Amino acid sequence: MRKASLLIILLLLAVAPALAIGEEKQSPSTLEYSFYIDPLAGPEKAAFEIVLQNLGDTELSFEFPTSQKYEITVLDANKKKVYQYSEGKSFAQAFETVTLKPQQKMKWVEDWDYTSAGKRVPEGEYTVTAQLKATSLNGKPVADNKLLTDTKTMYIPGENPVFKSVVSEGNKGIYKIMGESRPINGKFYYTVEDGHNQLIAETEMVPDANYPQWKPFTLEVSIPESKLPQNGSLILNLYERSKDGEIIHTYPVLLERFNPNN
């Protein structure tokens, strides 16, 4: 009798690891992903970069009830809504799917010109919230919407009295910058830097414009490719100097963004 009991115990011990292994194989993989918004506040508009990334080793399919993939809202310091991405837009009422392979990233970019009810919002700190509008993931309802929501803050600058409508074109060190200016002291300056190093020292410009009349200007800059950053942003800074030599009315212009991971 004792021998039979002992034999049964030994058989159970031998089978237990196999059972455990079988259960582990049948358990579903953890679905790992990230969703976030990166608000970039420029002098005249904000760029909202929205990123959805698959961080795991399983393909992910996000299902949406309409063609709207996300919502963006901006609140002022008093929690008053000053911008909502979907306002004034229409979306197709049909199910759509976004599928990401393992480690794949998807990015959307939206712009906002700082206007609310036809007027530019005042300078200050604002709260930006993005929500992915997916209702199911890999065929199952989304259990926690917090994972599909991200909130950031951004500081909106005051309106620049000297520069406006500035745009740039070009890449790999050769750039053309165009805009309008009305320098109070009859001239302005610019530099180019990458956040760590100054690649073009202060350069003076004397445009055919004086305050308060706006006039177009164009300038061209050239930087050797060997000096361009491997990772980061190339920024041209427009500005004036006061009678005391203080830098005033700064207007940053993004020339190019370098990111080896994109």
pLDDT in tens, 156-212: 999 999 999 999 999 999 999 999 999 998 999 999 999 889 999 999 999 887 789
* Helix (H), strand (E), coil (C) string for 107-169: EEEEEECCEECCEECCCEEEEEEEEECCCEECCEECCCHHHHEEEEEEEECCCCCCEEEEEEE
Q: Which domain CATH number covers 230?
A: 2.60.40.10
Of 134, 156, 178, the residue at which a domain comes to its end is 156
Does the pLDDT of residue 239 top 90, yes or no? yes
- Segments forming the whole domain that contains residue 87: 33-156
Q: What does pTM read for this prediction?
A: 0.78
Residues 84, 190 share a domain: no
Q: Is residue 221 part of a domain?
A: yes
Number of domains in the chain: 2
- Predicted pLDDT at 185: 87
- Predicted pLDDT at 260: 59
Residues 185, 141 share a domain: no
| CA 180 – CA 68 distance, rounded (Å) | 36
pLDDT band at 18 (very low <50, low <70, confident <90, very high): very low
Residues 171, 252 share a domain: yes
Of 156, 188, 215, the residue at which a domain comes to its end is 156
Residues 183, 244 share a domain: yes
Enter the tokens of residue 140: 């199952």
Residues 42, 147 share a domain: yes
Q: Is residue 222 part of a domain?
A: yes
- Predicted pLDDT at 14: 44
pLDDT band at 259 (very low <50, low <70, confident <90, very high): confident
Residues 209, 112 share a domain: no
Of 131, 156, 181, the residue at which a domain comes to its end is 156
Per cent of the chain over pLDDT 70 is 87
Q: Is residue 127 part of a domain?
A: yes
Does the pLDDT of residue 243 top 80, yes or no? yes
Q: Which domain CATH number covers 130?
A: 2.60.40.2360
